[in-house]
Amino acid sequence: MTEAASQSQFTPRVFSGIKPSGGLTLGNYLGAIKRFVEMQGPDFETLYCVVDLHAITVWQDPAELRTATREVAASYLASGIDPEKSILFNQSQVSQHAELGWIFNCVARVGWMNRMTQFKEKAGKNAEKQSLGLYAYPSLMAADILLYHATHVPVGEDQKQHVELTRDIAAKFNHDYKTEFFPLTTPVIEGPAMRVMNLRDGTKKMSKSGESDMERINMLDDADTIAKKFRKARTDPEALPDTLDGLKERPEARNLVDIYAALSDQSPEAVITEYAGAGWGQFKPALADLAVEKLAPISSEMQRLLDDPAEIDRILARGSERARAIAAPILERTYEIVGLVR
């Protein structure tokens, strides 16, 4: 069977997730959450998860983990994920994730895991001291996706390799058990913000865990902080060119143009055309104003939601119930295929 033919038997379904491991950044918003909202609609069934079991692959203080979990849920809701249209839940309430994760630990090969660049980057020279969970994490991520037979996964660039591994796991499972049970999921990595860079070093990704707060915009930053961070963002002395080609060797400048484009739903080409010849004294304040205009309503709605954690917990519990209704029969069938007596 061709891949296209084998894919068409699956309901178009989107799954994606964010780890509750510290504050959310503009990278999470533009590279993930904003795109999750855009995929909500008649074309797909959508599931959005707070992947708490992934967060604990590195140490998390229990109280902070609870807060961070509700904060990610609040960011989904405040950005426009509708818990009626999408299934919004946290991973640990659907025990099938961990169960399918174990099956996939027995499908994935050690050699495949050794090629995962994110583990190498995070572990650095201290690989021996990392948790076994951090190493096995991509196999749990494959379980998150395949537990729902998800056909599409919107993620930032940094997750591409993990979605490819998910396809490898699905293909090996299907091959070993002579079945077409799991789909070969498509990563959806598009738009100008698939890799938002650090504001102090345009060659590094903007992340929750970078050393200095000045290198990232947090979704909960206030207007003055956002303006200050963009004002102090590293750039070069030159004005903006009139084509994108002129930004080739200027990673910091390119990043700010891409952020502007993503926030204003334009192409980077359109932004360059509008601002050709502009200096940073003009572009940075315009960017800061735009970011505040887009983020302020989201962060104030997040704050409002976080004042009522019980309501967030109710939404997550209800979403988990709906997620289990899809997940349970798929795990059950997987167990049968593998030969586990039920």
Contact residues: ligand AMP, CB under 6 A: 18-19, 27-28, 31-32, 155-156, 158-159, 193-196, 205-208
Q: Which of 85, 122, 160, 228 is catalytic?
A: 122
Which entry of 85, 160, 172, 208 is annotated as an active-site residue? 208
* Closest C-alpha to 194, from 223, 158, 222, 143: 158
Measured CA angle at 132 (ends 97, 326), to 5 deg: 5
Helix (H) or strand (E) holding 15: strand 13-18
Catalytic residue among 19, 205, 229, 284: 205
The answer to whether residue 16 forms part of the interface with ligand TRP (CB under 6 A) is: yes
Q: Name the one range near ligand TRP by CB under 6 A: 141-149, 280-288, 305-313, 331-339.
A: 141-149
Residues 155, 194, 240, 263: which binds ligand TRP (CB under 6 A)?
155
Binding residues for ligand TRP, total number by CB under 6 A: 13
Q: Enumerate residues 156-215 that contact ligand TRP by CB under 6 A.
A: 159, 162
Burial of 4 (0-12, 13-18, 19+ CB in 10 A): exposed
Query: Does residue 17 touch ligand TRP according to CB under 6 A?
Result: yes
**Cβ distance 214 to 232 under 8 Å?**
yes
Question: Rounded CA gap, 23 and 1, in Å?
Answer: 45
Q: Read off the tokens for 140.
A: 């749990």
Residue 94: CB minimum distance to ligand TRP, A:
12
Going by DSSP bridges, is the β-strand pair 45-50/186-188 parallel, antiparallel, or unpaired?
unpaired
Active site residue 122: yes
Q: Does 21 bind ligand TRP (CB under 6 A)?
A: no
Q: How far is the CB of 140 from ligand TRP (least distance, A)?
A: 7
CA distance 20 to 286: 31
Smallest CA-to-CA distance from 135 within 163, 111, 159, 154 is with 111
- Interaction of residue 81 with ligand TRP, rule CB under 6 A: no
In the complex, the smallest distance separating the C-beta of residue 195 from ligand TRP, rounded to whole angstroms, is: 12
Q: Residue 205 catalytic?
A: yes
For ligand TRP, the closer of residues 184 and 257 by Cβ is 184
Contacts by 167-172, CB closer than 8 A, 24 or more apart: 168/108, 168/112, 169/104, 169/107, 169/108, 169/139, 169/142, 170/142, 170/146, 172/107, 172/108
Identified binder of ligand TRP from the candidate list 153, 240, 291, 316, rule CB under 6 A: 153
Partner interacting with residue 40 (select from ligand TRP, ligand AMP, none; CB below 5-8 Å by kind): none
Q: Residue 153 binds what, of ligand AMP, ligand TRP, none (CB under 5 to 8 Å, by partner type)?
A: ligand TRP
Q: According to the binding rule CB under 6 A, does residue 145 interact with ligand TRP?
A: yes
**CA atoms of 21 and 69, how far apart (whole Å):** 8
Q: Is 86 in the site for ligand TRP (CB under 6 A)?
A: no
Give the residues across from 50 on adjacent strands: 18, 90
Q: Are 139 and 98 in contact (CB under 8 A)?
A: no
The residues annotated with a catalytic role in the active site are: 122, 205, 208
- Interacting residue ranges for ligand TRP, rule: CB under 6 A: 15-17, 19, 51, 54, 141, 144-145, 153, 155, 159, 162
